[in-house]
Amino acid sequence: EGVGPQEYTALKLKVKEWAPEAAAAIKGKVPEGADVFFVPATLRPETMYGQTCCFVGPKINYGVFKVTEKEYFVVTDRAARNMAYQGIFPENGVVNKVAEVLGSACVGTLVNAPLSVHKDGVRILPMETVLPTKGTGVVTSVPSDSPDDFATVTDLAKKAEYYGIKKEWAELEIVSVITTPSYGDLAAPFLCKKLKIASPKDTKQLEEAKELAYKEGFYQGIMNIGEFKGQKVEDAKPKVRQQLITDGEGFAYSE
Ligand code: A2H
């Protein structure tokens, strides 16, 4: 954790098809025809082209919060409270929780991930290391550039049966988003291999990989995809963020 406030980009991943257990949990509580969004918080908006799934903590309890008649967000209670003081809900300081749903019940839900190359949508999948006390408790997965995400999707695909998921949900194509001189087109897979990271439990090596990927990506990275292809990551980052906000697909969230 740094000292100052963390400036996240919150992203709106619209539900296209609920997993049966989650559908049962919200039934009669969210009006038919309203849109429900999983809302991950990210520090790397420029990588959103590479989203392949979205993580929830299987044991975390999430709230479904009403934003407007037509829009509902799935986030932790803690995040909703913060959002209520940041002008994200209509009434300052007031949250309106209409339902609760356990992370594990959401697994398999199909969502639309803004900017992602996977236009048919991506799946909600479990990640044991999601912290309920950080961000929104929802983490979008970009395995090309996040060592944590790469280690987790690799593990999920390997043990699909154990996790109760379809293997193919964890195996959407990993495309190159950023090129760096030291780590090539896919920094996270490169670093996981180099540091011999075999699972999400290799926390010490993952810390190092994260640090290396972040620095190299930010200071040396060149965008390899999207509207700002060919530009430095440093320059593209605020532009992608602004584009998401302007298009109504994201908003500023801080804590
Ligand atoms: B980042 P910081 Cl490509 N629990 O987004 C665990 N991790 C969480 C979280 C939670 N509750 N909330 C957010 N995060 C992740 C993209 C990304 C991220 C890339 C590379 C690195 C990276 C795609 N996942 O983060 O402790 C989110 O993952 C490296 C740290 O507040 C978010 O940005 O600094 C980042 O951690 C926020 O971590």
Point out which residues pair with 154 in neighbouring strands.
none
pLDDT of 151 higher than 90: yes
In degrees rounded to 5, what are phi and psi of residue 244?
Answer: -60, -40
**Residue 65: both structure tokens together:** 């919060």
C-beta 135 within 6 A of ligand 1? yes
> Which pLDDT value is given to residue 8?
98
- 2 pLDDT band, cuts 50/70/90, is low
Q: Which residue has the tokens 């998921």?
A: 165
What does the alpha-carbon distance between residue 203 and residue 208 come to, in Å, rounded to a whole number?
9
pLDDT 10s digits, 178-213: 999 999 999 999 999 999 998 999 999 999 999 999
Note the pTM of the prediction, 2 decimals: 0.97
Residue 29: left (phi > 0), alpha (psi -120 to 50), or beta?
A: alpha
Q: What is the pLDDT of residue 4?
A: 77
Confidence of residue 5 (pLDDT cuts 50, 70, 90): confident
Which structure tokens are listed for 99? 């339902």
Q: For residues 103 and 59, what is the distance between their CA atoms, to the nearest angstrom?
A: 6
Cβ contacts of 190 within 8 Å, gap of 6 or more: 183, 184
Q: What are phi and psi of 138, to 5 degrees?
A: -120, 135
Would the CB of 137 count as within 6 Å of ligand 1? yes
Task: Write the burial class of residue 239 (CB in 10 Å: 0-12 exposed, 13-18 middle, 19+ buried).
Answer: middle
Give 83's pLDDT tier (boundaries 50, 70, 90): very high
At residue 108, the 3 state secondary structure works out as: coil
Q: Where are the alpha helices (DSSP H) in 37-165?
A: 77-84, 103-106, 147-158, 160-163
**Digit-coded pLDDT (tens) for 85-105:** 999 999 999 999 999 999 999
- Burial class, 1, CB count within 10 angstroms (exposed 0-12 / middle 13-18 / buried 19+): exposed
Residue by residue, DSSP assigns 23-81 as HHHHTTTS-TT-EEEE--EES-GGGGGG--EEEE-TT-EEEEEEEETTEEEEE-HHHHH
Please list, in sequence order, all residues whose beta carbon lies within 8 angstroms of the beta carbon of residue 168, skipping any fewer than 6 positions away.
none
Q: Using the mean position of ligand 1's atoms as its centre, give its distance from the Cα of residue 254 in Å.
A: 13
pLDDT at position 7 is 93
pLDDT tens digits, 162-183 = 999 999 999 999 999 999 999 9
Say if CB 139 and CB 130 are below 8 A apart: yes
Amino acid at 241: R
Q: What is the pLDDT, as a whole number, of residue 76? A: 98
**pLDDT one-digit tens code per residue, 20-63:** 999 999 999 999 999 999 999 999 999 999 999 999 999 999 99
User: What is the Å distance from ligand 1's center to 94 Cα?
Assistant: 27
The reported pLDDT for the residue numbered 108 is 98
Residue with the nearest Cα to atom 36 of ligand 1? Answer: 42
Read off the pLDDT of residues 204-252 as tens digits, 9 standing for 90 and up: 999 999 999 999 999 999 999 999 999 999 999 999 999 999 999 999 9
Q: 154 CA to middle of ligand 1, Å?
A: 17
- The pLDDT score that the predictor gives to residue 98 is 98
**Cα 139 to averaged position of ligand 1 atoms, centre (Å):** 7
97 lines ligand 1 (CB under 6 A): no
